[in-house]
Amino acid sequence: MIQFGKGVVRFRIPILMLSLLLLVPSVAGYLNTRINYDILSYLPEDIETMKGQDILLDEFGTGAFSVAVVEGMKQKDAAALKREIEQVSHVKAVLWQDSLADISVPLELLPEDMEELFENKEKNATLMIVMLDTSMSADETLDAVEEIRSLTKQQCLLSGMSAVVADIKKICNSEAVMYVAIAAGLSALVLALAMDSFLIPVLFLLSIGMAIIYNLGTNFVAGEISFITQALAAVLQLAVTMDYSIFLWHSYQENQERFPGDKKRAMAHAVSNTVSSVVGSSITTVAGFLAMCFMTFTLGLDLGIVMAKGVVFGVIGCVTILPSMILVFDRAVEKTRHRALIPDLGVIGDFVTKKYVVFAVLFLVILGPAVYGYTHNEVYYDLAGTLPEHLESVMANTKLEEQFHMGATHVVIADSSLDSRQAGNMLRELKEVGGIRQVIGIDSLLGPAVPQELVPDSYKEKLDNGTYQMMFLVSEYKTASDEVNAQCDEIKRIIKQYDPSAMLIGEAPCTQDLITITDRDFKTVSTVSIVLIFVIIAVVLKSISLPVILVAVIEFAIFINMGIPAYTGTVLPFIASIVIGTIQLGATVDYAILMTNKYKKARYQGMGKQQSVSTALNSSLQSVFVSALSFFAATFGVGLYSSIDMISALCVLLARGAVISFLVVAFILPAMFMMFDKAICKTSMGFLNREKQIKAELAR
């Protein structure tokens, strides 16, 4: 590796020039990567709800629909608005009272419950069902939502998943730049206090920033990434890869003492040392992210690949771009030298090793409550329910609930060859399902006072194309609630009795599938990440016992982190239980590996148990502390700022996880080394000192 280090030092100027040139295609790639704001689109394509959406789009030319709440308009003005909405690009149809008959036909001739569905006279409000010919989260759909909103001010509010996605897009576009600025600013502040040069944090951020741009730019190959990945990728990559830069700098300083006056040689050895140390530990981080690729909910694949790629770019940047920058700007670095303002923590080794029994007992005492909390925290699946109340989609959902007692809207697709008797019986049963306010279909729309010939053929075609018939079911229950999930089960039972091929689709059924699938994914990802990291640690450290100890210690930190919400009454986003444990395990196990390598080296040099553990702790704690503090600063700031609860909650959990992992590595891991030192030495290679090895070889 020393030859690689010498090569980096020799070609530092070309490396910097090439790194700057590569930013051009990377920025172009980033700007041309589509962002997907619809979480439900990451459900497996082979499940019934997703197949049903394809049928809806292919057979009826309808991919998305939204319910518009119109307030304070006279009937003729509402009719005029409806015609304007129909002229909006990609709006296929608008279902309203005059869709059934001419506007001159009195509402009283419609079935009474249908009249109540479309109009609330007391609140002077009416609603329309807007059907679009594009998918729920397509760019054209989101543009249509914004255009419909522009037709009136606050008199027309759009609800539904497409409207929610449009609002999420608006928030992300306004906040994304601030996420990076906050993370970079707070990390720079921490590093400025912890490092001995004010310029070094700037160089760290520049090199990592380049790696982030390379990572985001190469996402163009995939075509699109999720908004969660877009929001978290830069912040996480900054937080996760910062410790590689810290390690390089500390190694550079140590080698300057070895080779005084020869900074190029010191940097060559620092690069060599960093490659040897960082590559091994970074593999565990990459493995943690890649474990998310085993999710059937492909948001994990999206985030996992981008973040694994980010770690690789981060390592490459750390051993090429950063050392080149440090050497090029050496004079400026020296001029900005100062005394580190954060005190040196590398003096607590003796205290921890002497009191290791106390920390071992503390581990056992905390473990039970931590596991209980970890297995009993609550999660939510309703994304719209956690968005800011001032958003139009949230306001529309509130209006629907308060004025029309409407929650979720389902769509049933059934065979159009069902005879009228079967269809009538099915409709009657569906209307009797608890929480169903109305069923909108051809047969349900025709009351005794409305002759069938008054229903236009164009309207009939919208609900029955000769192969499939479509019905809207208006529910009183909210998406992701236990009531609506039970309701969906009952609806499926009924429609399957009359037509085994019938499908129930919509936001609520998709969310129900999301609950089932992510619960299974959580178990899969947890198992895969633990197994992968266990194997990697076993290979890297050449040990049977150390993987058990290190994984157990970090999992203990994860139990604490994810268990706290159960005691504070905090409801977490569903994705948190899947990704937080994996990211925390992969990212912070590096802390444990760093200390383990120091412990291993000390034992190999012939030091005793207590001295080895104390030396390892003292020599690694400062680096681990700065890395964890930087991780905390980058993620916690974004968590406080973001108005999207899913992003905010994930960042706060990651920030807290970094601190907890640091404390566990600082106090619990040394206690484990003290307790199991004999077993570790017997089941691991490289722990016996040279003298004992020679004696063992001679004895053979």
Residue closest to 125 by CA, chosen among 400, 410, 474: 400
Residues of the chain with pLDDT under 70: 98-118, 122-123, 153-155, 344-346, 385, 442-462, 688-700
SS3 606: coil
Residue closest to 204 by CA, chosen among 168, 242, 167, 166: 242
**Identity of the residue numbered 612:** S
φ/ψ of 441, rounded to 5, equals -150, 175
Residue closest to 158 by CA, chosen among 534, 489, 409: 409
Query: For 111-145, b where at least 16 C-beta lie within 10 A, e where not — what string?
Result: beebbbbbbbeeeebbbbbbbbbbbbbbeebbebb
How far is Cα 183 from Cα 185, in angstroms, rounded to an integer? 6
Residue 136's pLDDT is 81
What is the β-pairing status of strands 503-505 and 91-95? unpaired
CA dihedral 272, 278, 283, 289 (to 10 degrees): -140
How far is Cα 648 from Cα 650, in angstroms, rounded to an integer? 6
Residue closest to 183 by CA, chosen among 238, 140, 253: 238
How far is Cα 423 from Cα 443, in angstroms, rounded to an integer? 8
Query: 133: which DSSP letter?
Result: S
Which pTM was predicted? Answer: 0.84
How far is Cα 506 from Cα 67, in angstroms, rounded to an integer? 13
Report pLDDT digits (tens) over 311-348.
999 999 999 999 999 999 999 988 888 777 777 666 78
The token pair at 285 is 């981080």
How far is Cα 573 from Cα 677, in angstroms, rounded to an integer? 40
**Identity of the residue numbered 638:** V
Query: For 31-60, b where at least 16 C-beta lie within 10 A, e where not — what string?
Result: eebebbbbbbbbbeeebebbebbeebbeeb
Residue 448's pLDDT is 44
Residue 688's pLDDT is 67
How far is Cα 162 from Cα 166, in angstroms, rounded to an integer? 6
How far is Cα 648 from Cα 322, in angstroms, rounded to an integer? 31
> Is the Cβ–Cβ distance between 495 and 412 less than 8 Å?
yes
Report pLDDT digits (tens) over 348-366.
888 899 999 999 999 999 9
